[in-house]
């Protein structure tokens, strides 16, 4: 079962990050509030970059940080299903447990469906208010074993079913003990000893692994153009071919959404559910192809940690992907 941690103020050791990803090998993510804006960073296979971002944030801030490692029981193995999720521009959410609510989109996790449902509430922020109808509704969905954790841009947090987890002496909350070294995977509440399940587990997700659909000789430009084409399909535009037509369509979309590039448009459309669910999957897949090649070439992701105390503006770093140069 996944591991969720609400880190209140202190710096946690990297060993905790390494342990939770080893015990929950479907990806790790962190989320926090920086200058009134929600920031989320995810990785499928390594804690190195995530911990680097976390460590730098902690060196200057003592506000809450969400930490989550996933072992998938529903949905694809991809970064889009790694927690925390953005419910909207003001609320982050992560989850430990299983929610049996059915699935409209089989490529998405149960938590993604809950987050999408909350986003449709008239006032989603009420999920942090224990006396609200919205809180009681999601608390019912949570049940006795699942745990939902929310964080908003004011650094308010809410842990549903907190008593099913535990606190340490620093006040940090843990959904279970899988931040420690173990010899088993906890899969939907069933403990499976490591070494007896790992091979079949990898095979189970191989068909959906981003590595399986990433062409070996695809260029960074090809991957980027793939994002533009998927956006055009999702937004009902003519699908362009040829570099000139692609650039023209990109410029139109950037002007419309106030973005610097097609990647930012894609991230915005996916995060705020501005495209149909079926199209969202293909946009995310194209983004993952581009991210993989971008990271291999530059050592950072297109959108990554922004240090607001540095001399470089947030807009410049987001647009050019240089935010980790001074880490």
Q: 3-state SS of the chain?
A: CCEEEEECCCCCCHHHHHHHHHHCCCCEEEEEEECCEEEEEEECCCCHHHHHHHHHHHCCCCCCEEEEECCCCCCCCCHHHCCCEEEECCEEEEEECCCCCCCCCCCCCHHHHHHHHHHCCCCHHHHHCCCCHHHHHHHHHHCCCCEEEEEECCCCEEEECHHHCEECCCCCEECCCCCCCCCEEEECCEEEECCCCHHHHHHHHHCCCHHHCCCCCCCHHHHHHHHHHHHHHHCCCCCCCCHHHHHHHHHHHHHHHCCCCHHHHHHHHHHCCCCCHHHHHHHHHHHHHHHHHHHHHHCCCCCCCCCCCCCCCHHHHHHHCCCCCCC
Q: For residue 325, tell me if it sits in a domain.
A: no
Residues 172 and 228 both lie in one domain:
no
Task: Decide which of 152, 179, 206 is a domain's last residue.
Answer: 206
Number of structural domains (the chain) is 2
Residues 23 and 61 both lie in one domain:
yes
Residues 109 and 197 both lie in one domain:
yes
Q: For residue 11, tell me if it sits in a domain.
A: yes
pLDDT digits (tens, 9 = 90+) for 136-187: 888 888 777 789 999 999 999 999 989 989 999 999 999 988 888 776 666 5
Residues 142 and 274 both lie in one domain:
no
Residues 254 and 131 both lie in one domain:
no
Residues 48 and 127 both lie in one domain:
yes
Residues 123 and 224 both lie in one domain:
no
Q: For residue 227, tell me if it sits in a domain.
A: yes
Residues 69 and 153 both lie in one domain:
yes
Q: For residue 71, tell me if it sits in a domain.
A: yes
Residues 119 and 45 both lie in one domain:
yes
pLDDT at position 80: 82
Q: For residue 229, tell me if it sits in a domain.
A: yes
Residues 261 and 156 both lie in one domain:
no
Task: Decide which of 206, 229, 261 is a domain's last residue.
Answer: 206
Q: For residue 45, tell me if it sits in a domain.
A: yes
pLDDT at position 128: 92
Residues 51 and 162 both lie in one domain:
yes
| pTM for the model | 0.61
Task: Decide which of 163, 180, 206 is a domain's last residue.
Answer: 206
Positions in the chain short of pLDDT 50: 196-216, 305-327
Domain span holding position 102: 3-206
Residues 146 and 248 both lie in one domain:
no
Q: For residue 66, tell me if it sits in a domain.
A: yes
CATH number of residue 147's parent domain: 3.60.20
Q: For residue 249, tell me if it sits in a domain.
A: yes
CA-CA distance, 301 to 321, in Å (whole number)? Answer: 7
Q: For the sheet containing 85-88, what is the strand order?
A: 85-88, 91-96, 147-152, 157-160
């Amino acid at each position: 079962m996944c591991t969720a941690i609400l880190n209140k103020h202190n710096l946690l050791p990297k060993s905790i990050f390494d342990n939770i990803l080893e015990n929950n090998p479907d990806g790790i993510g962190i989320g926090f509030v920086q200058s009134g804006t929600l920031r989320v960073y995810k990785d499928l296979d390594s804690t190195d970059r995530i911990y680097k971002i976390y460590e730098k944030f902690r060196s200057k801030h003592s506000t809450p940080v969400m930490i989550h490692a996933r072992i998938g029981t529903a949905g694809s193995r991809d970064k889009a299903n790694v927690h925390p999720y953005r419910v909207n521009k003001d609320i982050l959410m992560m989850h430990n447990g299983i929610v049996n609510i059915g699935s409209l989109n089989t490529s998405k996790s149960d938590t993604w469906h809950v987050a999408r449902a909350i986003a449709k509430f008239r006032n989603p922020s009420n999920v942090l208010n224990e006396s609200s109808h919205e809180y009681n509704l999601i608390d019912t969905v949570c049940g006795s074993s699942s745990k939902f954790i929310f964080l908003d841009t004011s650094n308010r947090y809410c842990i549903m079913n907190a008593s099913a987890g535990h606190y340490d002496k620093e006040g940090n909350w843990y959904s279970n003990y899988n931040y420690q070294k173990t010899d088993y995977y906890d899969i939907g509440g069933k403990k499976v000893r490591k070494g007896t399940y790992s091979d079949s587990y990898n095979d189970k997700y191989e068909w959906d692994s981003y590595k399986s659909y990433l062409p070996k000789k695809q260029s960074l430009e090809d991957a980027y153009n793939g994002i533009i084409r998927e956006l055009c399909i999702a937004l009902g535009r003519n699908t362009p071919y040829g570099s000139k037509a692609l650039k023209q369509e990109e410029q139109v979309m950037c002007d419309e959404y106030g973005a610097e590039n097609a990647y930012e448009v894609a991230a915005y459309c996916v995060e705020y559910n501005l495209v149909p669910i079926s199209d969202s999957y293909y946009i995310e897949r194209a983004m993952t192809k581009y991210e993989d090649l971008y990271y291999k070439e530059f050592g950072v992701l297109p959108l990554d940690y922004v240090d607001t105390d540095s001399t470089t503006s947030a807009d410049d770093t987001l647009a050019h992907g240089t935010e980790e140069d001074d880490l």
